[in-house]
């Protein structure tokens, strides 16, 4: 693996999941693989899970980690040929090349601003680093994708499924803030590749990018979609067609114990209690959200292992 910025960077998903589960059982098996290698983690936005799990994963492989928080502090220029006489003081060309002098791998979190769809979809930060850095790049959530989260979700479903082909439902939930599509996009893409019966449910107007959902079943009736579900992944996202807008906050879309039935509840976290999901679900044995967070370590570790193996070749 050269970079990990998209699920399409995975060459064999089932093998990768098996390797991640093996690392979970024996996390220090490759503790010297990353010796004398440094992971630089750049955060343009805050994080709890991604930051700690990725650092832990790197350290379990023997890597050194350096973390740079640049939220609201670093005005990077991205355009070619611009006269930099305004706020931007550093061009991504130098920044990416300079960080590559200190890092063997660069991991980046850069959320969208949800104002300009074309700009967000161009992924200027992640793609800029891929273009100008001389080392591998990992996405720790970009404007349109959260591939480490989706890999952790696939590990969780694989570990906990009691069926050969479980039914998995992605259910939209209300939220007071406009949220990105990244988690939903990557979860959809991942489920399309996993051996599952997958369906999406959301109110009208919350259709995700059709280039991502493709032929995935979409049902605007939440109760119908949830029938016979084994895993229910609950997530808010803002409108894609009316880009970045909150069209409704219908509280009837909250996940309740009654709606969940016997399914396992999944969420990437952080989650707003009693807005997205009621306490009775989150505090029940049916919630696997904490195990998903645990699996973030092994998702990051298997990705770093693949990248380090490639570097060492």
Using a 10 angstrom Cβ sphere, with 0-12 exposed, 13-18 middle and 19 or more buried, the burial of residue 50 is: buried
Does position 49 interact with ligand CP (CB under 6 A)? The reply is yes
Does position 220 interact with ligand CP (CB under 6 A)? The reply is no
DSSP-assigned states of every residue in 221-260: -HHHHHTT-SEEEEE----TTTTT------GGGSB-HHHH
- Residue with Cβ nearer ligand CP (77 or 120): 120
Cis ω on the peptide bond leading into residue 179 (within 30° of 0)?
A: no
CB of 139 to ligand CP, least distance (A): 11
Paired tokens of 57:
């994963």
Does position 297 interact with ligand CP (CB under 6 A)? The reply is no
Q: What helix, strand, coil percent values describe the chain, rounded to 5?
A: 40, 15, 45
One residue of 5, 50, 60, 222 binding ligand CP per CB under 6 A: 50
DSSP-assigned states of every residue in 91-120: EHHHHHHHHHHH-SEEEEE----SS-HHHH
Alpha carbons 240 and 255: distance in angstroms, whole number: 22
CB of 83 to ligand CP, least distance (A): 36
- Residue with Cβ nearer ligand CP (225 or 293): 293
One residue of 2, 22, 48, 84 binding ligand CP per CB under 6 A: 48
- Residue with Cβ nearer ligand CP (100 or 139): 139
Q: Is the distance from CB of 81 to CB of 57 less than 8 angstroms?
A: no
Q: Which of 179, 195, 212 is nearest to 8 (CA)?
A: 212
Of 41-49, 65-73, 157-165, 215-223: span binding ligand CP (CB under 6 A): 41-49
Q: Is the distance from CB of 206 to CB of 167 less than 8 angstroms?
A: no
Binding mask 241-280 toward ligand CP (x if CB under 6 A, else -) reads: ---------------------------xx-----------
Does position 144 interact with ligand CP (CB under 6 A)? The reply is no
One residue of 47, 209, 216, 220 binding ligand CP per CB under 6 A: 47
One residue of 149, 186, 236, 239 binding ligand CP per CB under 6 A: 149
Question: What is the DSSP-derived secondary structure letter of residue 185?
Answer: H
CB of 7 to ligand CP, least distance (A): 15
CB of 136 to ligand CP, least distance (A): 20
What residues form DSSP beta bridges with 217? 199
Does position 69 interact with ligand CP (CB under 6 A)? The reply is no
CB of 155 to ligand CP, least distance (A): 14
| Interface ranges with ligand CP (CB under 6 A) | 47-50, 141, 149, 268-269
């Amino acid at each position: 693996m050269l970079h990990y910025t998209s699920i399409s960077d995975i060459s064999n998903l089932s093998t990768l999941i098996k390797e991640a589960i093996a690392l979970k059982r024996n996390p220090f098996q490759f503790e010297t693989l990353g010796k004398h290698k440094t992971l630089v983690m750049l955060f343009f936005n805050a994080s709890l899970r991604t930051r700690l799990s990725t650092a832990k994963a790197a350290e379990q492989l023997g890597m050194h980690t350096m973390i740079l928080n640049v939220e609201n502090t670093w005005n990077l220029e991205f355009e070619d040929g611009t006269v930099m006489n305004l706020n931007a003081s550093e061009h991504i060309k130098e920044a990416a090349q300079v960080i590559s002098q200190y890092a063997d791998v660069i991991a980046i979190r850069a959320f969208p601003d949800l104002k300009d769809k074309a700009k967000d979809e161009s992924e200027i930060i992640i793609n800029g680093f891929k273009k100008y850095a001389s080392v591998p790049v990992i996405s720790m959530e970009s404007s349109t994708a959260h591939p480490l989260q989706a890999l952790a979700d696939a590990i969780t479903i694989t570990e906990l499924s009691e069926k050969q082909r479980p039914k998995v439902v992605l259910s939209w939930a209300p939220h007071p803030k406009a949220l990105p599509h990244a988690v939903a996009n990557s979860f959809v893409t991942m489920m399309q590749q996993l051996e599952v019966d997958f369906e999406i449910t959301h109110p009208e107007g919350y259709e995700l990018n059709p280039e991502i959902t493709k032929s995935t079943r979409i049902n605007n009736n939440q109760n119908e979609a949830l029938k016979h579900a084994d895993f229910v992944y609950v997530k808010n996202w803002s409108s894609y067609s009316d880009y970045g807008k909150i069209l409704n906050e219908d509280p009837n879309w909250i996940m309740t114990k009654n709606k969940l039935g016997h399914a396992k509840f999944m969420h990437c976290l952080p989650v707003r209690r009693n807005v997205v999901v009621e306490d009775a679900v989150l505090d029940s044995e049916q919630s696997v959200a904490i195990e998903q967070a645990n699996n973030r370590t092994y998702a990051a570790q298997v990705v770093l292992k693949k990248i380090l193996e490639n570097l060492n070749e």
